[in-house]
Amino acid sequence: MISQTARPRMVPTELAALATGVSEATIRKWASRGKISRYGRPGRAEYDVGELIEIAAARHDRRNARDPGCRGRTAR
């Protein structure tokens, strides 16, 4: 039987940066400021994929709010 409790999926800093489209330094800065949770042990930071998805979606929404003309635009 599958557990009803969802276990967070963790990724290292490099993959967290790739997933959110920012640098590894930005991921570390967000963690130090409490914007995202840091897990792991010293020298081996890991981040929750769910949190990263939420922060990436929020960044995307803010960008679209600043530039509403970019919606629906296609690359040529």
Please report the pLDDT score of residue 69 as a whole number.
63
Residue 72 in this model has a pLDDT that exceeds 70: no
Please report the pLDDT score of residue 3 as a whole number.
53
Residue 71 in this model has a pLDDT that exceeds 60: no
Please report the pLDDT score of residue 7 as a whole number.
72
Residue 18 in this model has a pLDDT that exceeds 60: yes
Whether this model's pTM surpasses 0.85: no
Domain ranges for the chain: 10-69
Q: What span, in angstroms and rounded, lies between the C-alpha atoms of 62 and 73?
A: 17
Strands 10-12 and 44-48: antiparallel
Provide the CATH topology of domain 10-69: Multidrug-efflux Transporter Regulator; Chain: A; Domain 2 (1.10.1660)
Per-residue pLDDT reduced to its tens digit, 58-70: 888 888 887 766 5
Q: How far apart are the first and last CA of the chain?
A: 50
